[in-house]
Amino acid sequence: MVNSTQVFYFTLSAYIDSGPFRYLYFMIIISLYVLIVGSNLVLIVVICVNRSLHEPMYLFLCSLFVNELYGSTGLFPLLLVQILSDVHIISAPLCFLQIYCVYTYGIIELFNLAVMSYDRYVAICFPLQYSALMTSKKVVLLIALTWLFPFVAIVVVVSLSAPLQRCGNTIDRVYCGNYAIVKLSCSNTSLNNVLGLLYTVVSIIIPLVLILYMYAKILEVCFSGSKQTRQKAVSTCTPHLASILNFSFGCCFQILQSRFELSRLPAVVAIILSLYFLTCQPLFNPILYGLKMSSIREACKPPNKQTKDEHYLNKSNLLFFL
């Protein structure tokens, strides 16, 4: 039996002995990380330096891209070290720090997507009141709540998991997870399980229900409106819906893998799917929004000889889409 005073590190047992291929995997992972950091950073800079993009929708996007940088940084550096290591261990403090980063990233991502849904809901269902409903103060408040609530909530989750007495130190994953730590405990984990259920409801189910409700209202307006209205709604909502579906898929598999034993899956498939929402989402979002949204594409282009009248016309068109 191993008690809590003896567990100074955890062993991540899901890594496969890749032999000489580890350097190939290292190069693939570091290339993904550089691509994620570069693409998200470029779009953050583009939104920040272009005053024409200082609208609620693009400020929420900027918050989303910042979170992609935060989440990927909570995973990739340690992942790169573990790929080159012969012994896949992580110290207990670093393990809990990674849990904190990964879990806050997940909640912030979903909350940010919910806030963006609300923004699209107001823009499409109440276009004449949009400016009055989405004021600068309200946008700042929504972004602040999107970030502050997860940071506070996960402090509670981690502070309850850290002191638990543990009968082992082997985690069958490639990165640390809170429920994987709780399963190693020898002590009563009823409070952790109840809090975990509450955390799932508040941070996942409620935002998803709100997103579904708002998109149901958006669809209702689209079907009752003209063909032009439907086309404009589809053009602005498609990237957001694709991002929601992509992240929801990753979250669903993450929850299933954490709560249930999926031993029938091949080890490589299990590893890829466990990393899906931490790798594909930060890579998917900047490419999706950067290619799909004409305003961002135009802002990324070098300046041309555009007249003042054309500039104001483009800006008024942007506000019309918002």
For the chain, 322 residues long, give each residue's pLDDT as a single digit of tens.
444 445 688 888 888 777 778 888 899 999 999 999 999 999 999 889 888 888 898 999 999 999 999 999 999 999 999 888 888 889 989 999 999 999 999 999 999 999 999 998 998 888 889 999 999 999 999 999 999 999 998 998 898 888 888 888 888 888 888 888 888 888 788 888 888 788 878 888 889 899 989 988 888 887 776 777 677 777 777 788 888 888 888 877 777 776 666 556 677 777 788 888 888 889 888 888 877 666 666 666 666 554 444 444 444 444 444 4
Are the C-beta atoms of 99 and 176 separated by less than 8 Å?
yes
For residue 134, is it left (φ>0), alpha (ψ between -120 and 50) or beta? Answer: beta
Contact 48, 42 (CB under 8 A): no
CATH number for the domain spanning 104: value is: 1.20.1070.10
296 inside domain: yes
Name the β-bridge partners of 12: 171
Packed helices 22-49 and 56-84: angle between N→C axes, nearest 10 degrees: 160
- Domain span at 244: 9-321
Residue 202: inside a domain, yes or no?
yes
In degrees, to the nearest 5, what angle opens at C-alpha 316 toward C-alphas 313 and 317?
A: 85
Contacts 24+ apart (CB under 8 A), 204-213: 204/110, 204/251, 204/255, 207/110, 207/111, 207/113, 207/114, 208/110, 208/248, 210/114, 210/117, 210/118, 211/113, 211/114, 211/117, 211/244
Task: Work out the number of other CB atoms within 10 angstroms of the CB of residue 15.
Answer: 18
Is 4 within the bounds of a domain? no
Is 232 domain-assigned?
yes
What's the number of domains the chain is made of? 1
pTM: 0.84
Strand partners, 90: 10
Residue 1 within a domain: no
**Within a domain: 299:** yes
Instruction: Tell whether 279 is covered by a domain.
Output: yes
Residue 76 lies in a domain: yes
Within 10 Å of residue 163's Cβ, how many Cβ atoms?
9
